Structure 1
Amino acid sequence: MSGLTVEKTLGLAQLQDRGRFGVRHLGVTQGGALDWIAASWANQLLGNSPDCALIELPFGGVTLRCQQHTTLALTGADLQATLDTQPLPAWQSFRVAPGQTLTLGPPRSGMRGYLAAPGGFDAPRVLNSRSEVRREQLGGLHGDGSPLGPGDLLAFGSAKPAPAAVPQQHIPDYLAAVCLELILGAQIALFSGQSLFALFNQPWQVDQRTDRMGLRLLGPALRYQGPPIISEGIPLGTVQVPADGQPIILLNDRQTIGGYPRLGALSPASVARLAQCAPGQQLMLKPTTLAKARTQQLALQSAICTTLLVQSAY
């Protein structure tokens, strides 16, 4: 037996890759790692392809038993990780040996950690992706959308890359104030002026009602003044406003179409940052343009692919 064995989980840990594309016309959603930046760095630490499957770890609460000599990588939220009770820093790769226990606890900062293995975790491809989407019963370790559970064996490649670390200047500070960039949408002019002022000048709070499909914000009620909307396609990060006036930001497991009025969509970098916001956290919104968001995304992708990693002692 080789790989990692799941000993304990909250029932939230799941396999994700870059997502499932080219199938929304069938009503199948995207899936994929919510924090694509942290996930990309985890694979980069091991020299993996960007589309390799890794484990997304919301709220931690996972214990894994190592079954082979290998190198693993951990990025994203600070999950108080330990290897045989010895602390492990995040944003690094580290060696493990058979019989060792990797424990990932509740987050001290951020919300979701990402654990990668050489060559990615082995799982069946469903519609060209291993990403788990529970609602649609697609992807994941068993191909049916089920989360990781005790007794599951996660197999991966035999490579043992040298331990490395992400340079400090590329590690996000999840304790810093959060300001998300919103690419303005076609319907934003149909909201009242007072609503638009409140949108960008008052803080919003992340609601308890949040999952991989969408995240609700609590704050001043926004008032839409336009005609009814015909259902239309929904891109990642769409900010829609239902009748109660409280915005909902749609994430990777969102429905493919919707008929609520929309303010626009978050930039890809802001979607990744939002994935690390826990319920109760406050954030601000600010407008941006499509061109600026695209330039920012390309710069982030280039940095991940070309940055020289730092040698690690782990």
Structure 2
Amino acid sequence: MSGLRVIKPGPQSVLQDGGRRGWQHLGVSPAGPLDGHAAAWANHLLNNAWGTPLLEIALGDVELQAEVDTWVAVCGAQMPLSVDDQPQPLWTRLPLRKGQHLRLGFARSGQRAYLAVAGGFCAEPVLGSVSVQLREGFGRALQVGDRLACRSAHFSHRASAPWPYLGHYSGTPLLRVITGGDAAEFAEDQLQRFFAQSWRLSPLSDRMGARLLGEPLQPPARQWSLGVARGAIQVPADGQPIILQADHQTMGGYPLLGWLHPLDQGRLAQCPAHHSLRFTPISISDAQAELREFYRFFRR
């Protein structure tokens, strides 16, 4: 099958879909896109179903050559996008003709962009998913000469995401947290310290976890391990919180302060190393209402 041939793969470009669900009891993390908002819009612009396989591009510097007439959309980080050296807009459905070269420069703002193609990329699923998870050996990053298989497609016109829904990645994001887990075991002044201070994102952060740097917290003791989910905020003995990302482990023994709002996980994933972060509490009912609205729109 023809598709998009990889001329330059970038620092780390990996296929992702809705995630590898239903295997955490065997120690397999779900993976999936780090920025679900940008990934959802890239697929939506092409009338693809929720979770259709697309390409997550970290930092940029990617070049692909089309071997088929199709349409694409790139959403997420501000990476200069061009087709045959002609600048093109992000967050927009674009035609890509056989023989043309699509290029993405290095990110100017944000960290990850999502390239979707009409109908999605075709790849052999493993445990029900094509999501690449490098730590556990599920797939690998793109290499020069790879082919991203896809089918030809046609639309009658371009389309763009409405401007209020575009990602904006500058400034200090205020990320919302659902307190819970072991939060009641933390001293009240420690919870206040978490929300009152400005944290920095550690350069040791990756797809497994976002590590925070700041005035250390004093976590309570924990005597057992339990299952953990994406967005869980662990506080190890050094007092520097870790927010679990898409490639998180499935069990953990560090005390849990709460969970990052699912719709703010993408904003966290777009922050570069040493970026400032602040947090504010949100009720679980408000978070659930927002998440239901998100899924109603993208899964209809």
Give the TM-score taking structure 1 as reference length: 0.92
Q: Report if aligned partners of 2:2, 2:151 keep a CA contact under 8 Å in 1.
A: no
Q: Report if aligned partners of 2:49, 2:299 keep a CA contact under 8 Å in 1.
A: no
Q: Kindly provide the amino acid, as one letter, of the partner of residue 36 in structure 1.
A: G
Q: Kindly provide the amino acid, as one letter, of the partner of residue 258 in structure 1.
A: G
TM-superposed deviation, 1:214: 0.5
Give the TM-score taking structure 2 as reference length: 0.96
2:37 corresponding residue in structure 1: 37
- Distance in 2 of aligned mates of 1:118 and 1:31: 22
Which runs of 5 or more structure 2 residues have no equivalent in the other structure? none
Q: Does 1:274 align with 2:268?
A: yes
2:291 corresponding residue in structure 1: 297
Q: Report if aligned partners of 2:11, 2:58 keep a CA contact under 8 Å in 1.
A: no
Q: Kindly provide the amino acid, as one letter, of the partner of residue 103 in structure 1.
A: R
Q: Kindly provide the amino acid, as one letter, of the partner of residue 22 in structure 2.
A: G
Matched residue SS, 1:209: coil
Which runs of 5 or more structure 1 residues have no equivalent in the other structure? 139-144, 307-314
Runs (4+) off by over 4 Å: none
- Distance in 2 of aligned mates of 1:168 and 1:227: 46
Q: Kindly provide the amino acid, as one letter, of the partner of residue 126 in structure 1.
A: V
Aligned residues: 299
Deviations 1:60-117 (A, max 9, x none): 1211111121111110111111112211111011011122111111111111100001
Deviations 1:222-245 (A, max 9, x none): 001x33231100011011011111
Identical aligned pairs, as a percentage? 42
Q: Does 1:233 align with 2:227?
A: yes
2:173 corresponding residue in structure 1: 178
Q: Kindly provide the amino acid, as one letter, of the partner of residue 156 in structure 1.
A: C
2:108 corresponding residue in structure 1: 108
Matched residue SS, 1:13: strand
Matches within 5 A, 1:47-66: 47-66=47-66
- Distance in 1 of aligned mates of 2:251 and 2:217: 21
Distance 1:218 1:227, change over 3 A: closer
Q: Report if aligned partners of 2:221, 2:255 keep a CA contact under 8 Å in 1.
A: no
- Distance in 1 of aligned mates of 2:164 and 2:10: 32
TM-superposed deviation, 1:11: 4.1
Q: Kindly provide the amino acid, as one letter, of the partner of residue 274 in structure 2.
A: G
1:165 corresponding residue in structure 2: 160
Matches within 5 A, 1:171-210: 171-210=166-205
TM-superposed deviation, 1:297: 1.1
Matched residue SS, 1:135: helix
Q: Report if aligned partners of 2:45, 2:73 keep a CA contact under 8 Å in 1.
A: yes
What RMSD in Å do the two structures reach over aligned CA positions? 1.4
1:137 corresponding residue in structure 2: 137
